[in-house]
Amino acid sequence: MNYARFGSIMAVDGKQKELAAILLQASQLLVQNSECIKYSVGLGEDPNSVWVYEEWASKAAHKASLQMAEIQALITEGMPMIAGMGSQTEINILPDKAE
C-alpha cells in the first residue's frame, strides 16, 4: 500500500513563488528516488499558499527522504519563507486495478 501526503504551506507575504521554486528543486532531486512515485507542487488561490502532493512506496521511504543532505539543505533554505502550515492529510493509497 502506497503512502501519500497532501497539504498546504503558507508562505511569508511575497514569498509564494520563491518557496514553490525550492519545493520544485526537491521534486527534481526526488526523480532519482525510486520510492518516490509522485511529488507535485502547485500554487493555491491564496497568494501565499503552496500545495504539495507526495506519493511514496511507504511512509518509511518518505521519512528516509527527509534525511538526504540535499533535501535537508533545501529545508534549511525554505524555512525562513514559511509563515505556517495549512491543512495536511496523510493517505494510504489502496491498490487499483492495474496493480
| Nine cell digits for residue 60 | 518509511
Residue 95 pLDDT > 90, yes or no? Answer: no
Domain boundaries 2-93, CATH class = alpha beta
Q: Find the distance separating the first CA and the last CA of the chain, reported in whole Å.
A: 10
Q: What integer pLDDT is reported at residue 53 of this predicted model?
A: 97
Instruction: Answer whether 61's CB lies under 8 Å from 36's CB.
Output: yes
Residue 97, pLDDT > 80, answer: no
- pTM of the model as a whole: 0.89
Kindly report the backbone phi and psi dihedral angles of residue 96, in degrees, each rounded to the nearest multiple of 5, phi listed first. -100, -175
Cβ atoms of residues 34 and 61 within 8 Å: no
* Residue 33, phi then psi, degrees to nearest 5: -90, 110
Return the amino acid letter for 88: Q
User: Domain segments of the chain: what residues?
Assistant: 2-93
Query: Is residue 81 a contact partner of residue 68, using CB atoms and an 8 Å limit?
Result: no
Q: The C-alpha cell of 39 is what?
A: 511529488
Question: What average pLDDT does the segment 28-53 reach?
Answer: 96
- For residue 96 the three cell numbers come to 487499483
What's the mean pLDDT when you consider all of the chain?
A: 94
